[in-house]
């Protein structure tokens, strides 16, 4: 059963990707898709499952080559997106132009980095200041054990923070992982959100992680996402991500908050 048969619109998928195989890859990317996944491909999947809007997440394999994301947002005024940017070269004029196209935040793909950048450097402080002025968010993708090294500095900047993929807890410590606990505390401070997403990447405990957020965090700070087209695990189906959310939160009214009310307020 798809969402369109059990929920009221608009349903919003808060994390999807689009790309073309001819786009230039970063050196040593985490994934290197050899296929296209275009805006039309994504639209067909959303339509088939009754999902009316989405948020495109810039994908780390292509670094700051945001051209196709921006092109897609120009063609899809009901969609929103994030981009990957180099904080040392970005100026306010570029950001203002992107905002007009539907960009609402910047993704920090730190999970790919062996050494984390200095968030307290002038370039990053200036960058985060500009994002605050635009009312954008930073979209943090980082493994749970390293989140405490970054999150306090993002909080201090005043920027809105959206944490990817259930904060990717340490598989041994699970919800007791320091990063997971740090995100729970950050949500309480009022400017941090979490994506209930990519459960298929996190193993059998993903439902437990998501339930912990639903039980312990402010429900207004949770959004649902599919992570379509499931790069690296393409056998995953879109319907399975819908079913996963239903398993995490059986109450349809609470699911409605997660996939409609909260993302509308955050992204639109």
Q: What is the pLDDT of residues 166-189, one digit of tens each?
A: 999 999 999 999 999 999 999 999
Reply yes or no on whether the pLDDT at 5 is more than 50.
Answer: no
Q: What is the pLDDT of residue 7?
A: 44
What size, in residues, is the chain? 268
| Domain locations along the chain | 3-267
Pick the CATH number of 3-267 from 3.30.360.10, 3.20.20.220, 3.20.20.140, 3.40.50.10470: 3.20.20.140
Beta strands 137-140 and 80-83, pairing class:
unpaired
Q: pLDDT band for position 119 (50/70/90)?
A: very high
Average pLDDT over residues 182-208: 96
Q: pLDDT band for position 27 (50/70/90)?
A: very high
Cα–Cα distance, 187 to 222 (Å, whole number): 9
Model pTM score: 0.94
Q: What is the pLDDT of residues 30-77, one digit of tens each?
A: 999 999 999 999 999 999 999 999 999 999 999 999 999 999 999 999
Token representation of residue 30: 């985490």
Cα–Cα distance, 85 to 124 (Å, whole number): 11
For residue 162, whether the previous peptide bond is cis, meaning omega lies within 30 degrees of 0, is: no
Average pLDDT over residues 95-112: 97
Q: What is the DSSP string of 45-98?
A: HHHHTT--EEEEPPPGGGTT--HHHHHHHHH-TT-EEEE---TTT--HHHHHHH
Q: What is the pLDDT of residue 4?
A: 47
| Cβ proximity of 264 and 51 under 8 Å | no
CA 78, chain centre distance (Å): 17
Q: pLDDT band for position 90 (50/70/90)?
A: confident
């Amino acid at each position: 059963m798809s969402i369109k048969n059990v929920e009221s619109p608009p349903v919003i998928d808060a994390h999807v990707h689009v790309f073309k195989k001819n786009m230039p890859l970063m050196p040593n990317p985490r994934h290197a898709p050899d296929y296209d996944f275009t805006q039309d491909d994504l639209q067909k999947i959303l339509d088939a499952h009754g999902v009316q809007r989405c948020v495109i997440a810039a994908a780390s394999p292509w670094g700051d080559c945001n051209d196709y994301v921006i092109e897609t947002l120009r063609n899809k005024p009901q969609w929103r997106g994030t981009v990957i940017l180099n904080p040392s070269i970005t100026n306010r004029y570029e950001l203002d132009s992107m905002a007009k196209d539907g960009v609402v935040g910047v993704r920090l793909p730190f999970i790919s980095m062996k050494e984390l950048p200095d968030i307290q450097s002038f370039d990053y402080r200036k960058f985060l200041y500009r994002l605050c002025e635009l009312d954008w968010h930073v979209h943090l993708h980082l493994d749970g054990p390293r989140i405490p090294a970054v999150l306090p500095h993002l909080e201090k900047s005043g920027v809105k923070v959206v944490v990817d993929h259930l904060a990717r807890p340490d598989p041994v410590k699970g919800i007791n992982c320091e990063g997971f606990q740090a995100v729970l505390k950050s949500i309480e401070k009022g400017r941090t959100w979490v994506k209930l997403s990519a459960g298929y990447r996190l193993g059998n405990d993903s439902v437990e992680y998501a339930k912990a957020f639903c039980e312990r965090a402010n429900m207004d700070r949770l959004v649902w996402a599919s992570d379509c087209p499931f790069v690296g695990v393409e056998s995953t189906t879109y319907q399975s991500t819908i079913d996963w959310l239903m398993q995490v939160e059986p109450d349809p009214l609470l699911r409605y908050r997660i996939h409609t009310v909260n993302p509308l307020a955050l992204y639109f």
